[in-house]
Structure 1
Amino acid sequence: MNNIIEFFKNLQHEMKIQDTDHQASPRFWTVGHYKWERVADGCGDRWSVFDANNAEVYDAELFRKDFLSKLEVMKSDGLSEEEILEEWGLSDESYALDDLKYSIDDDYEFCEWYKNYIDEDIDIFEEAKVHHCNNDAFFLTKSECQKHIDANHYHYLEPHTYARTLFRCPTMEKLMGIIEETDWNKVKL
């Protein structure tokens, strides 16, 4: 039973000294992070590619760089332009590599080239990086939230602690008040 009292003493101490992150009491922390979301053309932060064959979405810049890297490997392996075109199933379209030269530095133009010559089933669209709060995580202390982020950062894009106020939650306000105001040295179990 002393473990329970010690737990509440430590929790109380941390709740009293931690940064409030400018949130009113009662407050809690959750994980703030970002997600890429599809937006209207002209409103995005990046171009993305949906590959229907693999049911995957790729950042267009990485998609372009990966393809061009594979092209360089083919060239360094000594493949001729004709052999490269044949490898891609483009032996009837000898101008495909010439067209690629004009779109090599632009993500959107490259993806259009790829769609025209390699895979017509890809979809090219813009995405914006949008802030989200985890609604399935609730931490009474900022440090506990940070420990969760440190252990699970790979599940999130740019994770950070995010303080929120328990607005109009009288039961939680009372419970947190009990934790923060009780003299745990006088409590006997």
Structure 2
Amino acid sequence: MSTDIVFLKELQAELNSQDNDSQAAPRFWTVGDYRWVECNEGNAERYSVYLPNDGESYEINYFLTDVLDKEELSEEALEEFGEISCEDSAFEWIQEHYDDGASLHPEKKEHFIRENTMFLTKAEAKQHIKSNHYHYTDEAHTYAMTAWRAPKVERLLKILSEFDFDSLRGSAILPTE
């Protein structure tokens, strides 16, 4: 049997047996992930601080615990550092002792679909995430979508799901072995 026909039969079996993730046909999978985006103060899940002197932006708690070199601080700055109790007091401390041009930005986590990802099977999407994990956050996941009002995609997937590939045996396409 032609290797292409074997491939199509295996793909057909996988398409017909995989979970549909509650998504209508014709379905395909992408990579879903999360990113932090700026938002209104009332919707903030965290705060980031932009430091113009460094040209960098950091999640505020990460900056205070992992980036800031406390050994370079004066005794007064260290004493006041110990009094930080919230984002506002942290921001004030940063402006006074580290970068007076600093700005505070409220952020929330947002789900999004990664560009340039499209898979016919959920297993292939999972394997892609595993093999390319360094391009994604730890929260990357398969995400099922419907090719809504895409008649050619719908027809192709229907053919792949329903065609009797064994009927090709003995034809010019797939001669008898």
TM-score, with structure 1 as normaliser: 0.81
- How many residue pairs match? The answer is 169
- Post-superposition Cα deviations, 1:69-99, rounded to whole Å, max 9, x if no partner, equal x32xx3xxxxxxxx843xxxxxxxx743433
**Alignment CA distance shift 1:29-1:84 (3 Å):** closer
Deviations along 1:145-186, one digit per CA (max 9) or x if unpaired, are 001111122322310110011110001000111111111122
Question: Which of 4-13 and 149-158 deviates more?
Answer: 149-158
The equivalent of 1:167 in structure 2 is 148
Q: Percent identity?
A: 39
- Match of 2:58, SS state, is strand
Q: 1:172 to 1:149 in 2, by over 3 A?
A: same
Partner of 2:116: 136
Following superposition, the deviation at residue 106 of structure 1 comes to 3.0
* CA distance 1:53–1:154, shift in 2 (3 Å): farther
Match of 2:128 among 148, 151, 157: 148
Change (3 A) 1:160 1:84: closer
Residues 108 and 185 of structure 1: CA distance in aligned 2, closer, same or farther (over 3 Å) = farther
Give the whole-Å Cα distance in 2 for the aligned partners of 1:156 and 1:108.
31
What does residue 21 of structure 2 align with?
21
Which SS does the other structure have where 2:116 is aligned?
coil
Distance 1:10 1:55, change over 3 A: farther
**Unaligned segments of structure 2, at least 5 residues:** none
Give structure 1 stretches of 5+ with no counterpart.
Answer: 75-82, 86-93
Alpha-carbon deviation of 1:114? 1.0
